[in-house]
Structure 1
Amino acid sequence: MSVSKRPRYITPDGFAAIRKEYDELLGDERPKLVEVISWAAGNGDRSENGDYIYGRKKLREIDRRIGYLSKVMKDAKVVDPARCERRDEVRFGATVTLVDEDDTQRVITIVGDDETDAGQGRVGWSAPIARAFIGTRVGDERGVRLPSGEKFYEVIDITYPSA
């Protein structure tokens, strides 16, 4: 019996960034750290050897991150928003300009959950604000429940990257 799980959508740029981090950790950072740990282990008593203790801790963190990135890449379903055919509707990869009741604009880009960056307006597709607007068109209004309370937004523009 297979376990049903949500798709792990990601943009081509997001996948490339994860691949780059994976390659740097596996091919550069980890080998250097293993070298430092080997050197530190050769210096005698490991119980009070800061380089050895810190190195082992850092190696565990890197190995955990490599495992996570490997799983993300294995499970990823790369979706190129530049190939979206329905550009009049909010879908994965869309950049959406919203305006609230105070005429304050907010621009979000709907991306994979593994590539979110609130500071850059990159919102994961499963986030409440993204889910509220998927399928909407310019002029549509939706309420979004935020930590500060419910807020209403109108879609005033939808764009997609060009092919």
Structure 2
Amino acid sequence: MNKAFVKESDNDDDDDLGPETVKLPPGTKNYITTQGYQRLRDELAHLITVERPSIVQIVSWAASNGDRSENGDYLYGKKRLREIDRRMRFLTKRLEIAEVVDPAAQPNRDQVFFGATVVYSDRAGEEFRVTIVGVDEAEPLAGKISWISPVARALTKAREGDTVTLRTPAGIDELDILEVHYP
């Protein structure tokens, strides 16, 4: 089918890879932990050496079967190749601008900075344990929050025993820092 009739372009926006992808604020560095950097490198290597060659083989086989216009394996394979290529470009760009930070080397271990694991309680007395990580490795449900998140920004530079103010759409909350530690 001619590209004039489908909503696709050759220059896909690499920064828009789904809801899980967070754009970096302008002028900031892409801070990432050593483990997060390695995870992105491993994903890129897997895409290059395993997934993409496998899909290329399927597309090649499907193309050899003749009519491509109604060949599901061919059409799906081409779509999957575009997705893989877009993800590979995104990962390559993110790894190029990554600034690896080793939390274990933090000299101010009593203060909250990138890589810190913090235990805090809110006004309701509910306790939370979060680790401040890079935007590409954040998993809020697993307690890993991005350093650009509102909670991380409120906690940054605080010490054990401090109370910080968190501004949210629901209002203002007070967070009591109970523990700060680094790996």
Normalised by the shorter chain, which TM-score bucket? over 0.9
| Residue aligning to 1:150 | 172
Q: Counterpart of 2:120?
A: 98
Q: What's the counterpart of residue 41 of structure 1? A: 63
Percentage of identical aligned residues: 46
2:155 corresponds to which of 122, 126, 133: 133
Instruction: Give the whole-Å Cα distance in 2 for the aligned partners of 1:44 and 1:94.
Output: 57
The one-character-per-residue Cα deviations of 1:60-99 (angstroms, maximum 9, x if unpaired) are 0000000111011100000000010100100000000011
Match of 1:50 in 2: 72
- Report the secondary structure of 1:67's partner residue: helix
Work out the number of aligned pairs and report it: 158
Task: Trace 1:11-50 onto structure 2 (pairs within 5 A).
Answer: 11-50=33-72
Please give the root-mean-square deviation of Cα atoms over the aligned residues, in Å: 1.0
TM-score between both structures, scaled by the size of structure 1:
0.94
User: Unmatched 5+ residue regions in structure 2?
Assistant: 1-25
State the shift of 1:45 in Å: 0.7
Matched, 1:6 2:28: yes
| 1:65 counterpart residue number | 87
Query: Which AA in structure 1 matches 2:104?
Result: A
Larger mean Cα displacement after TM superposition, 138-147 or 92-101: 138-147
Q: Deviations over 1:1-34 (max 9, x none)?
A: xxx7210000000001101100000110000100
CA distance in 2, matches of 1:89, 1:134: 8
Q: CA deviation digits over 1:111-158, x for unaligned, max 9? A: 001100011110010111101111000111112123433221110100
Structure 1 range deviating more: 99-108 or 82-91: 99-108
Determine the C-alpha separation between the residues in 2 that align with 1:10 and 1:66: 18
1:77 alignment counterpart: 99
Any idea what SS the aligned residue of 1:88 has?
Answer: coil
CA–CA distance in structure 2, aligned partners of residues 54 and 72 of structure 1? 27
* TM-score, with length taken from structure 2: 0.84
Q: Distance in 2 between matches of 1:147 and 1:61?
A: 35
Cα distance in 2, alignment partners of residues 20 and 147 from structure 1: 37
- 1:44, 1:38 → 2: CA distance? 11
Counterpart CA distance in 2 for 1:38 and 1:103 is 60
Residue of structure 1 equivalent to 2:16:
none
